[in-house]
Amino acid sequence: MLTRTLLLQMAQNRGLETFARKNSLAARIARRFIAGETLEEIVEPVRALNQAGMTATLDYLGESITSTKEVEQVVTTYFNLMSLIRRERLKASISLKLTSLGLDIDPDLAQRNLETLVEAALPDLFIRIDMEGSAYTQKTLDIFYTTFKKRPEYQNHLGVVIQAYLYRSEADIEELIRLKARVRLCKGAYKEPPSIAFQKPDDIRANYLKLMQRLLLEGNYPALATHDLQLINAAKLFVKEHNISKDRFEFQMLYGVRRPLQLQIAKEGYNIRIYTPFGDHWYPYTMRRLAERPANLWFALQSFLRK
């Protein structure tokens, strides 16, 4: 727990981020979890996932942006990413954070940028709004609902993430089920206080299981984002017991984490999508991945030493 807390604190330290981005060892560790820093570098990793029977969701790293110039650059990158997916015929969707679209500058700016990107995603691409820390939960859902309801055709091209460790998530799931919105369910990767979030791993797992079962029964193609083998096996058993087809949901896992398990799930005939980030703002993302499972730090160091 102490290691996790320290790594999450490090994730928010801008001075450490500046140092890490100039440090070759830190960059090599990060490459375990990201597909590349440029659009050109992600094509082969995504194609390899596709050839192994998996799809991808591509996230251009960057969050808490407070410069309109940087926001414009992010939006342009996502336009270029859509063109790349189509040109290279990659089996991939898109993930994005609203703070990268200007949420900290002006919620209306983030709203407009999201609508522009969803419009560009028609008719063949899907965009998922990532969930950030709890300070952004309601803001994110408000913008999601506004955009989702704006035009009927958006509803098949826009989804959102719900974090199982938040107490509020059960009510949010019920509303999203009512709207037939596509949900990615994850445990949650930010440090949240006991007043709003479960703290014990067993409690988080139990709430995830409850929300997962609701989505499998009533949800619109839910995405079960977890590396927890107990939850993965519980999902497999639940769909079997309730005669739920494998094409009604998908598993999601992170790029560079538990690769043999990813391949096993694909070989068993389940849909599996790999969350595949790219870009040079990799430091906060990498720190959160290490915090989720500190053993990842040792694995990454071993990989570096072998090379």
Q: Which of 6-10, 123-127, 266-270 has the lowest mean pLDDT?
A: 6-10
More confident residue, 305 or 152: 152
Confidence category of residue 252, pLDDT binned at 50, 70, 90: very high
Cα(283)–Cα(25) distance, integer angstroms? 12
pLDDT of residue 305: 43
Side chain identity at residue 74, one-letter code: V
What are the backbone dihedrals phi and psi of residue 221, each rounded to the nearest 5 degrees, phi first?
45, 65
pLDDT of residue 304: 44
Confidence category of residue 19, pLDDT binned at 50, 70, 90: very low
Cα(41)–Cα(82) distance, integer angstroms? 15
Cα(252)–Cα(150) distance, integer angstroms? 28
Report domain extents, the chain: 34-281
| Beta bridge partners of residue 252, listed in sequence order | 225, 273
Q: What is the mean pLDDT of residues 180-203?
A: 95
pLDDT of residue 18: 47
Question: Is residue 130 annotated as a catalytic residue, yes or no?
Answer: yes
Positive/negative CA dihedral, 179, 180, 181, 185:
positive
How distant, in Å, are the alpha carbons of 138, 222, 253, 266 from that of 248?
Answer: 28, 8, 17, 15
Confidence category of residue 112, pLDDT binned at 50, 70, 90: very high
CATH number of 34-281: 3.20.20.220
Q: Which of 96-105, 219-228, 287-296 has the lowest mean pLDDT?
A: 287-296
| Beta bridge partners of residue 59, listed in sequence order | 95, 277
Catalytic residue among 32, 182, 184, 205: 184
Catalytic residue among 59, 104, 130, 172: 130
Tokens of 197: 């979030």
- Residue 212 near residue 170, CB atoms below 8 Å: no
- Residue 225 near residue 189, CB atoms below 8 Å: no
Taking all residues of the chain, what is their mean pLDDT, rounded to a whole number?
Answer: 88
Q: Which of 54-68, 124-138, 168-182, 223-237 has the lowest mean pLDDT?
A: 54-68
Confidence category of residue 33, pLDDT binned at 50, 70, 90: confident
- Tens of pLDDT, residue by residue over 54-105, are 999 999 997 778 899 999 999 999 999 999 999 999 999 999 999 999 999 9
Q: Which of 8-22, 158-172, 219-233 has the lowest mean pLDDT?
A: 8-22
Confidence category of residue 294, pLDDT binned at 50, 70, 90: low
- Tens of pLDDT, residue by residue over 203-214, are 999 999 999 999
Cα(223)–Cα(214) distance, integer angstroms? 12
Judge whether residue 24 has pLDDT over 70. Answer: no
Cα(14)–Cα(193) distance, integer angstroms? 22
Q: Which of 122-126, 263-267, 296-300 has the lowest mean pLDDT?
A: 296-300
Length of the chain: 307
Judge whether residue 182 has pLDDT over 70. Answer: yes
Question: Is residue 106 annotated as a catalytic residue, yes or no?
Answer: no
Q: Secondary structure of the chain in the HEC alphabet? A: CHHHHHHHHHHCCHHHHHHHHCCHHHHHHHCCCCCCCCHHHHHHHHHHHHHCCCEEEEEECCCCCCCHHHHHHHHHHHHHHHHHHHHHCCCEEEEECHHHHCCCCCHHHHHHHHHHHHHHHCCCCCEEECCCCHHHHHHHHHHHHHHHCCCHHHHHCEEEEEECCECCHHHHHHHHHHCCCEEEEECCCCCCCCCCECCCHHHHHHHHHHHHHHHHHHCCCCEEECCCHHHHHHHHHHHHHCCCCHHHCEEEEECCCCHHHHHHHHHCCCCEEEEEEECCCCHHHHHHHHHHCCHHHHHHHHHHHHC
- pTM of the entire structure? 0.87
Q: What is the mean pLDDT of residues 275-291?
A: 77
Positive/negative CA dihedral, 198, 199, 203, 208:
positive
Confidence category of residue 189, pLDDT binned at 50, 70, 90: confident
